[in-house]
Structure 1
């Protein structure tokens, strides 16, 4: 999975914390990703971006690469991630709501911005729409 961005390491660190991932370590024999890329012949002016990939430590989820692009985000994402923390419909709505709000607060402390609460009275659904530090939309449900 690839997420376009302007500054990969802070975004990689945010999403690693949000998803329970870790920064991908450089390949064996290299002290850093820059050392590895330098060995591949990548020009010096393209180095220095820091960590730009995260991986699921359990090996179940996809590897996510944060690719540097020159333009800033301008329109709504056509694809976004949902972070499921509520426990599903088997859990009482008030408990799900508390779990979602707790996670939204944690991610806000890491740099995310709350956009909206997704709740309609009478429906058995509660979520919070948010944006990551570079403005990419995601939901917590």
Structure 2
């Protein structure tokens, strides 16, 4: 039986394969040498998943890398079946002489990550329809409530979620970025950001998230799955 997994179980199940758990999905980026090789990788992943590809597999093909994402659309999260498919895909790609490892391990600029926009709002239900309409966004599977996040149905833009405010905060930018990173890369990225002139606003909720800001106070939350299972 297919069972939905929490972050710690999902991350642990694929850590040795190079896949990373981010925001309810398993992700890996496979470096390739050419567009033709990228298509070959994508085709092999689809063949491994077979009829289950439509309900579990998302592929982003670029000339030098292929991003593979596994998530059960029926459960809106990672399941035991997604873990099985990650193992099978990794085995299949080893047969092509490739490995499902974080890109950073191969000297590429960075590994997998996800970007979200957070909008602070007093009346989430009141503003959510506007953002959904103007961006052409849709409800996320399993999250159709009036205060739930909205997503790009084509996967081209970042997800947007709404943070409840108790009172107006005109002195602060009411839109901030949420950057979801692999749990084993977050600290190094934070260090780089601080060295580049940023400052640490809060680490009270770390490792679930750290709040950083630039010199003018514009904020970004660096997040991981850790600290969220409880």
Fold match, TM over 0.5? no
TM-score (norm 1): 0.36
TM-score (norm 2): 0.23
- The structure that has the greater radius of gyration is 2
Structure possessing the higher relative contact order (Cα contacts under 8 Å, 6 or more residues apart): 1
